[in-house]
Structures are given as structure tokens and as C-alpha cells.
Amino acid sequence: MELKFKALCAAVTLSLFGASGAAAETIKVGVLSPNTGPYAVIGEDVKNGFQLYFDSVGNKAGGDDIKLIFEDSQAKPDVGLTKAQKLVESDKVAFVGGIVSSSVAYAVRDYLVEKKVPLLVSVSSADGLTQNLAAPNIFRTNSSGSQTSHPMGQWLLDQGYKRVIIVAPGYSMGFEQTGGIARVFTEGGGKVVQALYPPLGTTDYAPYLTQLKVDDADAVIAVFAGSEAIQFVKQFEEYGLKGEIPLVGTSLLTDDLILEKEGDAALGIITSSHYSSQVDTPENKEFVAAYKERYKRPPTLYAEASYVAARVIHDALDKQGGDIGNQEALLKAISDVSFKAPRGNFKFDDYNSPIHDIYILKVERTEDGLVNKPFHRYENISQFYTWTPEEFMKLPPYRDIADTWVK
């Protein structure tokens, strides 16, 4: 598969704007993210990340001016596709970046592959984009759905945990992120004693919290996002479970956008992620300081991944001297990008998804408020973890085996 994929990359030779190969004086970058609706706050971080990076380099790359064009996907597939078409056909963008909703990502994927416009996904974690649906012009700068989950499964085993409970929303995100933990945990000898999947949009978790088999488990694995995460974490404490059994998950459960709203109920929760504002690298200290100065708050993983996506575009254009006419060379320049990002070392695998460190984080209170503090690191983790790409993609998708973890 790797050789076929590389061959496909080499075969993409059509120009973005015709066959002349001439470098544009102004290169346009479309940023597609939700600026209204329930995910607007994430969309704002996407916009901030792109803008902060390009402002830091004078809005230039490869000797040309860079113009960012922002469009609101509303986190709706049909709207996202319409806006992607507008960016490509009317605005003549050379790149599309952003994408928060996985449903939007899948909706625009085929169109952008057909148009051969590079897409740099910075928030959507949909596994398929850089696995079975990988394409030479599709890149990811955040983690795939299960990429941060696999190390969490190993961490639980390393702590001596033997039995866990899974609670997650009953759709692809919940299945992928808990599935990564469950697969590693069960293959290492652990057991899932219970799995509950509340429907998306649940606000009252009492029916689920009251049936948790806490006497039979060592930890509860929960993966929720946004307002659902806030409600679950608070209700977990209200029902007397905090302190009775450890609560662990992935970064969505306590991400920096919602952490203060969760309050002390979040203290002690363990999660896994490729980024936290508390990551101790020189690049992150510089990034956090610049972000705080401009936006008056710490950056989130959404902002950092968008900042990284902007740098990927910049570095590839610099390597090409601003030439966007030779797409084969441009895509290779993107795939070859490697640098020290705020999160740490960053590079792409052969399917255009990052290889980077995954951190185990604990919610603590500091003088700056609640933070996700890294205390353990798994180095150079790919979306395929310890499997080869061929082995991993032959495994059944997590969404298809969500109901099989409990034996």
C-alpha cells in the first residue's frame, strides 16, 4: 500500500491554476471552519492559529504575499462543500486548511481530491482521511481519532489496571477514540467490563452514571467533547464517583477551551494528547506567549494544530520559491516538511498524517488556573501505533466493533 500510495503521489502532476507553472504574486489560502453554531469557539481558534503564524512571517512565503480567506462551514457537510467550492472556483485558493467537523471533512474530501487542491486538516480527527481514504493532497496536522488513544491504553496497563468501563457518545468520534484505548488495553491482557454509548446531544447522564459497574472496574474511560464533556465531568462528581474511581480519557474530555467551565470537578482527570499549553519546549513557550499577548488567553490544541498547518504551507512554499504551478513538486515539498513545532518534533508519515509525541496529562490547578499538565510522554507515535499501515488498515474499523469490547 505504501509503494502504491507513493506512486500515486508521484503521478499527480496537474497544475493548480493551469499548466504555466508561473508563481503567483499573491497566494491565497482558504480557511474553512465553523464561525457560527456550536463549534464556533473552535473555529475561532482555527482562525487564530492560521492568522498568528502568517502574521509572524509578515504574511509572506516563498517571496510571495499570502492572503487568508475565511469561510464559515457551520459544521454542516452541505454548507462546507459549498464553501469549499466557492474558495476553489471563485477565490482561486491554492490551499484549503482548517476543517473541524469530521462530517465536513468527508464531504469536501472527494471534491478537493478531484480538484487536486492541497487540504490541511487541523482539527477533524476522522481516521479514514489519512488511512483508507488517503490521497496525495490530503494532509493532517492534528492527531487522527485513535492516535492519542493507543498510548493511553498502554499507560493504563503500565499502571496495573486490569478492568475498565467505557462511556462515550454513540458515533464515530466516540467509537474511534475509546476504541484505540480498548484495543491496546485488551490485547495487553486488560478487560472491558462495561461499555455505554449515550446518544449525541445527551445532557442528563444520570441514567448512565447510576448503572456504572464501578465495583468491577479499576477506571472509567470517558470521551466527550464540548458541552457534553462539561456536563459529564460535573455530573460524574455530583453522583459521588469522583474519588471513588479514576476518570481517564482523551484530550477532548478536558480540553483547554472548556476546562475552567468544568471547574474543580475536572481536577485529577488523566487524558492523552499531542498538545497542551503546558508542554515544555522552547517553541511552545514562544507560541504560548505570543498567543496570550494577542488573544488574552492560552492556546488550545486546535489553535496549535492550525498554527502548525500554516507553517507547513509556509515552509513548503519557501522550498518551492513560491511556485504553485508544479503540483507534484508542491505536494512533495509539503510531505517532506519537518520542524520543531510547539508540541515537539513534527513530520508526516507516508499517508500524510503526523508522527509526533503523545503526552499523558493530569488536570491540576496552578496560579494560571486549571491546566492539563504533562507528566509522561510516548515518543514518535504514528496513527498506526505499533502496527504496520497494512496491518492496521486490515483491522475492523473501531466504529464497527464498538459493541464487541465487553466479553
Q: pTM to 2 decimals?
A: 0.89
The torsion angles phi and psi of 26, rounded to 5 degrees, stand at -125, 120
Indicate the pLDDT class of residue 226, thresholds 50, 70 and 90: confident
Q: Which residues contact residue 129 at a Cβ distance below 8 angstroms, ignoring those fewer than 6 apart?
A: 105, 106, 109, 121, 138, 140, 144
Identify which of 129, 69, 127, 74 has the alpha carbon closest to the alpha carbon of residue 100. Answer: 74
For 127, how many CA atoms within 13 A lie in the half-sphere containing its CB?
A: 26
Indicate the pLDDT class of residue 36, thresholds 50, 70 and 90: confident
SS3 content of the chain, % helix, strand, coil (to 5): 40, 20, 35
- The letter for the amino acid at 373 is K
- Which residue bears the cell 453522583? 239
pLDDT tens-place string over residues 259-298? 999 999 999 999 999 999 999 999 999 999 999 999 999 9
pLDDT of residue 102: 86
- Distance from C-alpha of 21 to C-alpha of 356, rounded to nearest angstrom: 34
- Which residue bears the cell 514562544? 286
Q: Could you give the percent of the chain with pLDDT greater than 90?
A: 83
Could you tell me which residues are beta bridge partners of residue 369?
Answer: 366
| Cα torsion angle, 30, 66, 295, 337, sign | positive
The answer to whether the CB of 330 falls within 8 A of the CB of 74 is: no
pLDDT of residue 229: 93
Angle between helices 40-56 and 301-320 (to 10 degrees): 40
- Which residue bears the cell 488574552? 296
User: Alpha helix locations (H) across 70-134?
Assistant: 77-85, 102-115
pLDDT tens-place string over residues 304-325? 999 999 999 999 999 999 999 9
Identify which of 96, 176, 85, 89 has the alpha carbon closest to the alpha carbon of residue 138. Answer: 96
When computed from its CA atoms, the radius of gyration of the chain, rounded to whole angstroms, is: 21
Residue 135 has pLDDT above 70, yes or no: yes
Residue 21 has pLDDT above 70, yes or no: no
- Distance from C-alpha of 22 to C-alpha of 144, rounded to nearest angstrom: 35
- Which residue bears the cell 449525541? 200
- Distance from C-alpha of 116 to C-alpha of 325, rounded to nearest angstrom: 12
- The letter for the amino acid at 131 is Q
Residue 389 has pLDDT above 90, yes or no: yes
Indicate the pLDDT class of residue 16, thresholds 50, 70 and 90: very low
The answer to whether the CB of 102 falls within 8 A of the CB of 172 is: yes
Indicate the pLDDT class of residue 18, thresholds 50, 70 and 90: very low
Indicate the pLDDT class of residue 10, thresholds 50, 70 and 90: very low
The torsion angles phi and psi of 60, rounded to 5 degrees, stand at -135, 155
Question: Torsion angle, CA of 114/102/268/194, rounded to 10 degrees?
Answer: -120
The distance between the two most distant Cα atoms of the chain, rounded to a whole number of Å, is: 69
